[in-house]
Structure 1
Amino acid sequence: THGTERISSTRVREALGRGDLEQARHLLGRPYRMKGRVSHGAKRGRGIGFPTANINLHRRFSPVRGVYAVMVSGLGPTPLPGVANVGTRPTVNGKDYRLEVHLFDFDREIYGHHLEVEFRLKLRDEKRFESFDALKEQIQVDARVAREYLRSAGPHDLDSPQPPGASLQP
């Protein structure tokens, strides 16, 4: 409990399912994070100008799903900003849950590295696109919104779930 409030894993999962990262942070006492090892993917993101670090989640269901502004630890002394998708990748008929992270202004081979991905802001739900061109256009919008949010929030500002005037739907 926290004061008179009962804290449970069910409440945390419900908050995450709603995209309410601030409530989840309050319940957990820290930001929500996922950890995993970077594995090889199909390299589709690289082909459209958005290479991703692919992390298999090894679970049938994830409490978070969609596109997020994130900070990533495990590649140096300070966390790196990025945009992430958690889900099954419906545009490519994916089946398994996967975390794919595009790191901004980053170009290194990181296969095998263990990363910790901290979710800062839900941008939108995952959806199927009719073409890779449409997907690429949406990723460009998502990346721009995530950069702006992370720049305004700062790398260590955990008390601001959303900057003034920010739009959750790019």
Structure 2
Amino acid sequence: VSDLLRDSLQADVVCVGYDFNFGKGRSGNAETLRALLAEAGIQALVMPAFSVPTAALADPGQASAASVGATTICSSSGVRKAVQEGQIAQATRLLGRAVEIEGVVEHGAARGRQLGFPTANLRLDAELTPAVGIYAAWAEIIGPLPAAASLAEVISPLAYRPVLARHPAAVSVGYNATFTARPTPAEPAFALATGEPAAAGSGGGHAATWPPLSIEAHLIQPAGAGWLDLYDQPLRLTLVAKLRDEQRFSSVDALRAQIAADVAETKRLLGVTG
């Protein structure tokens, strides 16, 4: 503590959470650290747990009688679990702000454009991604970093870049199930080179792996608006709600009809008309 926090970092105050642990076998806790810091002349701030009503985490009309009066501690593990399960409203309440995905738009297979619903394919480096499924979201096109950027802006560039445009968006997080062969015990799935929907029960005689997870956003624009060229453009997606699980469709027409329904539901949830 003395060598690192006082001598190297020259810390005056150290802030930790109430459930902080450190040392071999996580044997040290916040109070242990407080005592060690006091010996080094450093102030310790131990932040208490922050809780929200458990009933507030349930979807409207879903709160149980047992949850009335109960509270749930807000924690990073709780937020991660909610995001991974696609419980966006719950994750938002625990986090205290909207769940966001940020990345740079890259080239994809252009299937969305062929279907009449062009998508921006996000190149993502985040460790945490939402559950596979279709989501309603807001998409923000992010501009360049200001020339006179501060250190904070350079360290976390997307948070400080100007928003050039904001669009409602239907977002797919998944594996392009309709264009992937049905999983078999021998091989989970493989992408068809033809780009045609996979026939039910079809398999393959060659080694194949499940395709990589993709995040694709269809930015909803007014009728008659031109195609948005967003390649290499930073994009931020603010998730609002999960619409449904990813599905495999028997035909391109069935898939196209469902995407149209997803777009309509996204507009309804976001209060978008026209």
Q: State TM-score, norm by structure 1.
A: 0.80
Matched, 1:145 2:265: yes
- Contact 1:62 1:97 survives alignment (8 Å): no
Give the match for residue 10 of structure 1: 77
Out of 117, 141, 149, the residue aligned to residue 237 of structure 2 is 117
Out of 159, 163, 166, the residue aligned to residue 79 of structure 1 is 166
Give the match for residue 215 of structure 2: 99
SS at match of 2:217: strand
C-alpha separation in 2, matches of 1:61 and 1:22:
16
> Bigger CA drift: 54-63 or 30-39?
54-63
Call closer, same or farther: CA 1:60–1:21 in 2, change over 3 Å.
closer
Give the match for residue 132 of structure 2: 65
Q: State TM-score, norm by structure 2.
A: 0.51
C-alpha separation in 2, matches of 1:39 and 1:150:
26
Out of 90, 98, 106, the residue aligned to residue 39 of structure 1 is 106
SS at match of 2:74: coil
SS at match of 1:25: helix
How far does the alpha carbon of each residue in 1:71-128 deviate from its partner, in whole angstroms, 9 at most, with x for none?
0112554421110101111112251111100011152211000001010111100111
C-alpha separation in 1, matches of 2:82 and 2:126:
19
Say what the alpha-carbon RMSD is for the aligned residues.
2.2
How far does the alpha carbon of each residue in 1:51-81 deviate from its partner, in whole angstroms, 9 at most, with x for none?
0000133478733321011101125544211
Letter in 1 for 2:243: L
Cα offset for 1:142? Answer: 0.4
C-alpha separation in 2, matches of 1:49 and 1:41:
15
Q: Which runs of 5+ in 2 are unaligned?
A: 1-48, 52-70, 143-162, 181-190, 192-210
SS at match of 1:84: strand
SS at match of 1:67: strand
Q: Percent identity?
A: 37
Give the match for residue 132 of structure 1: 252
Out of 78, 91, 98, the residue aligned to residue 24 of structure 1 is 91
Give the match for residue 176 of structure 2: 89
Call closer, same or farther: CA 1:58–1:96 in 2, change over 3 Å.
farther
C-alpha separation in 2, matches of 1:110 and 1:19:
26
C-alpha separation in 1, matches of 2:126 and 2:239:
18
